[in-house]
Amino acid sequence: MSGRRLLTLLWLGAALAVLASGCGSTSAVQYTATGTAKCLRDKGFKHVTTDRHKVGFIAGVAENGGIKAAAPSGNVLTIAFAQNATDAPSTKQAFRDNASPFYKKHMSDIMESQQNAVLVWTTAPSQDLLNTVLACLGS
């Protein structure tokens, strides 16, 4: 076998290995605003909206929509659904860049991401409340 053909086969094998491992694959489930809103309502959240004019700028322009909702405790949640998990860090950075000085100091307490969903609260949520919302993402 020629060196060139062997090199081609090695590159092809490497590419197949990457695809088989899921890298570059879009098969992962992407969370969406419409798929999450009903579950939040069912869990007692109030004022749940996916209206892009009401969820705030960042969530309003997110590829897979946005949600704004108030937990039963009154803690307001905004979720921006990025196109995919790879885009979530830039969505988190957009929230950081546009936060008021008060919220910038607390972003590590009030912001969380799960795959393509970026959650931002007005105050740090309890673990139970966070778990409830994370469970709703897959709905």
Comparing 89 with 11, which gets the higher pLDDT? 89
Task: Write down the pLDDT at residue 20.
Answer: 40
pLDDT above 90: percentage of residues in the chain: 76
> Which residue carries 């919220």 as its tokens?
103
Task: Write down the pLDDT at residue 6.
Answer: 40
- Could you tell me the pTM of the whole model? 0.79
Task: Give the C-alpha separation, 46 to 127, whole Å.
Answer: 19
∠ CA 26-32-34, rounded to 5°? 145
Instruction: Kindly state the average pLDDT of the residues 93-102.
Output: 95
Task: Give the C-alpha separation, 98 to 35, whole Å.
Answer: 27
pLDDT in tens, 31-89: 999 989 999 999 999 999 999 999 999 999 999 999 999 999 999 999 999 999 999 99
